[in-house]
Structure 1
Amino acid sequence: MRTTVVPPLTAETAREILRKVTAPAGADAAKAARTDLLLVGFDFGTNTSCLKACYAGAGDLVVNEMIPTVVGYASEGLVDNLLPGNARILFGQAALKNRLYLRLVPPLQNGQVEDLQAARDFTRYLRQVLNPQQGAEVRAVIGVPANAERTARETLSQAVTGLFDKVVFIPEPFLAALGYRDESRLGDPAYLDPVRNSLIVDIGAGTTSACLVQGYFPTTEDQVSLPFAGDKVDGLLAEAIRKSYPDSELSLFQVREIKEHHSYVGKMEGAIVVNLVIGGKLRKLDLGEAIGNACELLLQRVFEAVKLMIAQASTDSVAELVQNIILTGGGSRIRQFDAELQRLLVEDGYEKPRVLTVGENHKEYVARGALVAARQAKEAQWTRLASG
């Protein structure tokens, strides 16, 4: 396969994208829908991917899907007709549901392509999900971790070749700001526009990214990405459970489910006792302290990243910036995370900090912002992928 070099956006093209995406809503409403051009906002997540797509000039979405980022290959010697459709490869939720009979392979790790073959198989499945009109060109704005290196972008471009014809890569926190932006409130003096002046913290599965969004496309100095996020918390929790309950032998999926239901930081509000069937017997596992300790380590990493980004902001912007710190991604759903981060900032001397979370729809904002950017990107800003 030929390697397609996907360069970072230049300052000029980045400013043009930002100018376009901050234009008043409906600026292109008069354009007729084009069924020969499918525009996609794509969040290729370590654990969950999100696709949003519409035809150029159309307002309605033709695809709006959230899919677990996993590929399942049938185990060696598996009998026929055990898997749906007698398939040898399953994807997403179907793979998780039938994981007993599959070798599960996550295409991504720490927000980057880890297994290129699995990534290629997964994107071929996504092409079926998109199901574009025959002959239609498919273009996508794709979210990448903050400060993703050139080699990571090149590997990602190989993974999505065949899925998309042209792409633009944009940092995920910046896209999250675009997706979270409420255009109906832009005329409200009390509204703190996340695109105008905010610090976006995207706590995903593979990476935690922090990014200054201040009315222009972020530079390298305006963003930081840490390989410490939800998956790391899962690993720490799994290790703690093994130490306390050596015979438990929980799968990573069970550990992740426990974390997602019971995660917290700060003061534990009550005992966390989880009922699990282990070795065919019902067991009660007291996991409150283990969960809190694992999540607390994530909080401290986020705190340090936030302080680093605040230090990068200009003195003219920092007073408003610290009042518009926005948490997104799965880690933002950890109970009391926003309040505890705000407490740490207050204790460290920051003036009236305010930390917000984007809420339950956190998985959609990167893809939503990516589709906003895709609708407005000019021809010169797209990079064509080489055919495989």
Structure 2
Amino acid sequence: MPPAKKTDKTSAPLHVGIDLGTSRSAAAASNEKTTWVESYVGWPKDFVSRKMLGKEVLYGADAVRHRMSLDLVRPLEGGVIREGSERDHEAVRELIRHLLEAVQTEDDQPVRAAIGVPAEALHASKAAVRDVVGDLAEALMIVSEPFAVAYGIDALDGAMIVDIGAGTADLCVMHGTMPTEEDQRTLTLAGDAIDRQLARRLSERYPSVRFGETTLRQVKEASAFVGEPEGKVSARGADASTLGDYDVTDDLRASCESIVPALVEAAADLLSRYEPDFQETVRKNVYLAGGGGQIRGLAEMLEAELAKTGPARVRTVDDPLYSGAQGALALAQDMPAEYWEDL
């Protein structure tokens, strides 16, 4: 691992918002630079791997592509650092280092980082994130991911954020103040749950065919949908030693739709805690964010389900990939000093 960078405390700090995700992590900086990476880190297994790859650490798609040559780590589970493994903590540190280096333009510029984590993991994540960030930044702020999204799109009153990532789906109602735990919900039915259900369904439909986990995740990310399909969706699989393309359309649709009932139930439960007139306002201002926000037809399906008990409007944010990081950046630039933790 390369040494941590020293910073020049006399320089103006670079504010960075980071959306630390189970599947993808993104960063947005006050110098207008942005970057994202799949949340994988890999180390060469041996001297042959190091010679072939010519790198000490690989990240994201590069790491996945060379996974047979690496000790590959996906260190975030449910949007938080997995406990009990120093390698997972090291991998998250490397991810954050990689993101920061991609957006920094001055080697010695101090960094003030706002990092988004799942709503219900906010308190539990603080110590772990503080440990891995260490001297990569001079100050740190941990925020809930749906609150960061809300702040970034200026949906601060009478709105609900539904932020669907790989590990969790986070819901947050905004009512003109910083949200409390009572204003937020975290579900573990999200992108990874869709992946697991798709794999299970295909093992039942095609019992003699083997589908790679990475292949199915890529198919989902490229073609996820609910409702009516636009066309046939196929996945490459192997029956014994014979490769072929298999129709996965119906199974992909069913897997994506499997998360809808829990999302609707959680949204209804959150809404029930507020006065009826405020509920009506919020129902017409629901925003879908995160990777799940890119599932074709999901906003329309959620809107139809919520509309069964009253008028509703669900919209997808303009940039689901960066909405969390951009919101965390906005918070980093606006937050008073008492919300920061010096490192």
Q: Indicate whether the TM-score tops 0.5.
A: yes
Contact 1:276-1:283 within 8 A present in 2 as well: yes
**Does structure 1 residue 110 correspond to structure 2 residue 91?**
no
Partner of 1:66: 36
In structure 2, do the counterparts of structure 1 residues 90 and 80 end up closer, same or farther at CA, with 3 Å as the change threshold? closer
Q: In structure 2, what is the Cα distance between the partners aligned to 1:73 and 1:223?
A: 37
**Does structure 1 residue 154 correspond to structure 2 residue 127?**
yes
- Unaligned regions of 5+ residues in structure 2, if any? 1-9, 83-87
Give a deviation string over 1:183-206, Cα, whole Å, max 9, x none: xxxxxxxxxxx2221010000111
Give 2:296's aligned amino acid: R
**Does structure 1 residue 353 correspond to structure 2 residue 312?**
yes
1:1-388 matches, within 5 Å, as 35-54=11-30, 60-61=31-32, 63-76=33-46, 78-83=48-53, 86-114=54-82, 115-131=88-104, 133-181=106-154, 194-268=155-229, 270-276=231-237, 281-347=242-308, 349=309, 351-359=310-318, 361-385=319-343
In structure 2, do the counterparts of structure 1 residues 277 and 135 end up closer, same or farther at CA, with 3 Å as the change threshold? same
DSSP 3-state at the match of 1:81: helix
Give 1:105's aligned amino acid: V
Give a deviation string over 1:193-245, Cα, whole Å, max 9, x none: x2221010000111100000121111111000111110111111112222222
Give a deviation string over 1:294-320, Cα, whole Å, max 9, x none: 112111111111111111222231111
In structure 2, do the counterparts of structure 1 residues 357 and 131 end up closer, same or farther at CA, with 3 Å as the change threshold? closer
In structure 2, do the counterparts of structure 1 residues 249 and 78 end up closer, same or farther at CA, with 3 Å as the change threshold? farther
Partner of 1:21: none
Give 1:356's aligned amino acid: R
CA drift at 1:100: 3.1
DSSP 3-state at the match of 1:363: coil
The more displaced of 196-205 and 247-256 is 247-256
Q: In structure 1, what is the Cα distance between the partners aligned to 2:326 and 2:244?
A: 42
Cα RMSD of the aligned pairs, angstroms, is: 2.1
DSSP 3-state at the match of 2:120: coil
CA drift at 1:370: 1.1
Aligned identity (percent) is 30
Q: In structure 2, what is the Cα distance between the partners aligned to 1:341 and 1:44?
A: 25
- Equivalences, count: 329
Give 1:352's aligned amino acid: P
Contact 1:211-1:222 within 8 A present in 2 as well: yes
Q: In structure 2, what is the Cα distance between the partners aligned to 1:163 and 1:80?
A: 26
Give 2:300's aligned amino acid: A
CA drift at 1:133: 3.4
In structure 2, do the counterparts of structure 1 residues 82 and 246 end up closer, same or farther at CA, with 3 Å as the change threshold? farther
CA drift at 1:266: 2.7
CA drift at 1:117: 2.3
Q: Scaled by the length of structure 1, what TM-score is found?
A: 0.79
Partner of 2:5: none
Q: In structure 1, what is the Cα distance between the partners aligned to 2:215 and 2:183?
A: 37
Give 2:117's aligned amino acid: V
- Unaligned regions of 5+ residues in structure 1, if any? 1-33, 55-59, 182-193
In structure 2, do the counterparts of structure 1 residues 149 and 38 end up closer, same or farther at CA, with 3 Å as the change threshold? closer
CA drift at 1:135: 4.4
In structure 2, do the counterparts of structure 1 residues 131 and 260 end up closer, same or farther at CA, with 3 Å as the change threshold? closer
Q: In structure 2, what is the Cα distance between the partners aligned to 1:80 and 1:338?
A: 45
Contact 2:34-2:103 within 8 A present in 1 as well: no
Contact 2:27-2:100 within 8 A present in 1 as well: no
Q: In structure 2, what is the Cα distance between the partners aligned to 1:271 and 1:128?
A: 41
Give a deviation string over 1:347-381, Cα, whole Å, max 9, x none: 3x2x211111114x211111111111111122222
DSSP 3-state at the match of 2:189: coil
In structure 2, do the counterparts of structure 1 residues 321 and 79 end up closer, same or farther at CA, with 3 Å as the change threshold? closer
In structure 2, do the counterparts of structure 1 residues 137 and 338 end up closer, same or farther at CA, with 3 Å as the change threshold? same
In structure 2, do the counterparts of structure 1 residues 247 and 157 end up closer, same or farther at CA, with 3 Å as the change threshold? farther
Contact 2:164-2:292 within 8 A present in 1 as well: yes
In structure 2, do the counterparts of structure 1 residues 246 and 341 end up closer, same or farther at CA, with 3 Å as the change threshold? same
Q: In structure 1, what is the Cα distance between the partners aligned to 2:219 and 2:65?
A: 17
Give a deviation string over 1:262-299, Cα, whole Å, max 9, x none: 32223445543445566664423121221122112111
In structure 2, do the counterparts of structure 1 residues 326 and 126 end up closer, same or farther at CA, with 3 Å as the change threshold? closer
